[in-house]
Amino acid sequence: MLSKTQIKHLRKLTHDLNPVIMLGQNGFTEAVLNELNIALDRHELVKIKLSGGDREAREQLIIDICQQTRSEQVQSIGKTVTIFRRNREKPVIEFPAG
């Protein structure tokens, strides 16, 4: 689980990211899950653009994504969510000391 300091650091990094995954009308399919896992392994921090739907549906989708990818939500603004999963073999993001 990420600490508040780590989440704050990741949020700073989020600003420069472009969405890597775009969830369209087909939703969160097996193919999207595979692509998302690849992106998380490579980048650790991934921004996702969600399709329409109401707020409750998006929140449930974010929960499903985090559970299925074993990742943590870093930030959610409107229809964009950023998630993080540490690559244990080859960590990409370094956290500040303290």
For helices 30-43 and 55-69, the axis angle rounded to 10 degrees is: 60
Q: What's the CATH architecture for 4-84?
A: 2-Layer Sandwich (3.30)
pLDDT of residue 98: 59
Q: How far is CA 19 from the centre of its chain?
A: 10
Instruction: Please state the domain extents for the chain.
Output: 4-84
Mean pLDDT by 10 residues, the chain (98 residues): 94 93 84 95 96 86 95 95 96 86
CA 64 vs CA 7, 58, 71: distances in Å: 20, 10, 10
Q: Which tokens in the block code for residue 15? A: 């600003």
List of residues 6+ apart from 81 with CB closer than 8 A: 47, 48, 50, 58, 62, 65, 73, 75
Q: What is the pTM of this model?
A: 0.92
Tokens of 70: 């074993």
